[in-house]
Structure 1
Amino acid sequence: MTGRLWLAAVAAFAAAVPAMSETAPKDVAFVEGAIEASLSGMPGNPEEGAKVMTTNALGNCVACHQVNGIPNVQFPGTIAPPLDGVADRWSEAQLRGIVANAKMTFEGSFMPAFYKTEGFIRPGAAYSGKAPEGDLPPILTAQQIEDVVAFLMTLKE
């Protein structure tokens, strides 16, 4: 009986809370390179953002960027701008746009588009015949983008 009561309470709560909607990569609206609204509909977690930035299989931002705010990075990158003070140089919307797809702000940037699923050049098809067909999944999820942006917003001078 208690299990049913608990389940009913959870269902009532879920119905009362408005659903947060995630913006699909194809539906992202860039305004001069910036993305005004959260991609996940949820606030970012700066601690998770730091993990994404330092994890090889995720964003691995520290491979190119130096960030003094993240200690103990073994091989900090030096080929992209340092990120210390980035929250003083860019707004949250601008940072979201840069992390999602830097090419929308900086044409010719070598920074990967972390929240993109289409429009890739696939040279593997010409050389190996093994390039994937169709859309690819984004490198980072909408929430991971929000987490990275939340961390970047902590990097002030």
Structure 2
Amino acid sequence: MQSIVAAAITISVALASNARAEGLAPYKIVGDGIAKSLTDVPGDAARGRALVLARTTTCILCHSGPFPETRFQGDLAPDLTGAGNRWTVSQLRLRMVDAARFNPDTIMPSYYRNDGLVRVGRSFAGKPILSAAEIEDIVAYLATLRD
């Protein structure tokens, strides 16, 4: 099991470095979501799960969920169990892209913004934290989490 987690973390670190080199794909916010995929292709739920559990994305530091193999899950944010019931794919996508749209005081990072951010490390300044593909993978996974 540890080798799977280590592989997921290695993949996540490599993907995150690619995200920092990538520009932002255009997207349109309609109501409380982003209906159209950032990549025009469906995300991969298995990769999304690995990203959620990777410490580099920080999801698991604040959220808990149906991850029995993962110790030290967070309790600062909503449990991800049932996320696919609570939010639509469109809403999940916007929460990942820019959570501050829902709550300006949120501690959740805006994973797909590169402007107007404060307290950003030099290596992330002007760059998104996650790539469009990573966002879509995570959204695909969260959409599968049903009660």
User: In the alignment, which residue of structure 2 is the partner of 1:149?
Assistant: 139
> 1:74 aligns to what?
71
Larger Rg: 1
Relative to 1, partners in 2 of residues 1:71 and 1:133: Cα closer, same or farther, differing over 3 Å? closer
TM-score (structure 1 length as normaliser): 0.72
Specify the alignment match of 2:63 in structure 1: 65
Higher mean alpha-carbon deviation, 93-102 vs 104-113, is at: 104-113
- Percentage identity across paired residues of the two chains: 32
Q: TM-score, normalised by structure 2?
A: 0.77
- The number of residue pairs the alignment matches comes to 126
* Counterpart contact for 2:115–2:126, Cα < 8 Å: yes
Kindly report the root-mean-square deviation, in angstroms, between the aligned alpha carbons of the 2 structures.
Answer: 2.3
Using the TM superposition, give the Cα deviation of residue 26 of structure 1 relative to its aligned residue in structure 2, in angstroms: 7.1
Q: Indicate the residue corresponding to 2:6 in structure 1.
A: none
Q: What is the letter of the counterpart of residue 107 of structure 2?
A: F
Where 1:97 maps in the other structure, the secondary structure is helix
Offset of 1:154 from its aligned partner? 0.7
The residue identity in structure 2 corresponding to 1:38 is: S
Distance 1:91-1:75 versus aligned 2 partners, 3 A rule: same
Hey, what does 1:11 align to over in structure 2?
none
Pairwise CA distance, 1:120: 1.7
The answer to whether the Cα contact below 8 Å between 2:32 and 2:91 also exists between their aligned partners in 1 is: yes
Distance in 2, matches of 1:30 and 1:83, equals: 23
Letter in 1 for 2:34: I
Q: C-alpha displacement at 1:73, in angstroms? A: 1.0
Q: In the alignment, does 2:91 pair up with 1:94?
A: yes
Shift of 1:132: 4.0
Contact 2:25 2:132 (C-alpha < 8 Å) held by counterparts: no
Name the structure 2 match of 1:12: none
Comparing 137-146 with 26-35, greater Cα deviation is found at 26-35
Report what 1:13 is aligned to.
none
| C-alpha contact 2:27 2:36 (8 A) present in aligned 1 | no
| Unaligned segments of structure 1, at least 5 residues | 1-23, 125-130
**Using a 3 Å threshold, how does the CA distance of structure 1 residues 133 and 110 change in structure 2: closer, same or farther?**
closer
Deviation track 1:22-67 (CA, whole Å, cap 9, x = no partner) reads xx5373322233111001111010100011111122x231110011
SS in 2 for 1:25: coil
In the alignment, what sits opposite 1:107?
104
Within 5 Å, which residues of 2 pair with 1:1-157?
Answer: 25=24, 27-57=26-56, 59-68=57-66, 70-122=67-119, 132=122, 136-157=126-147
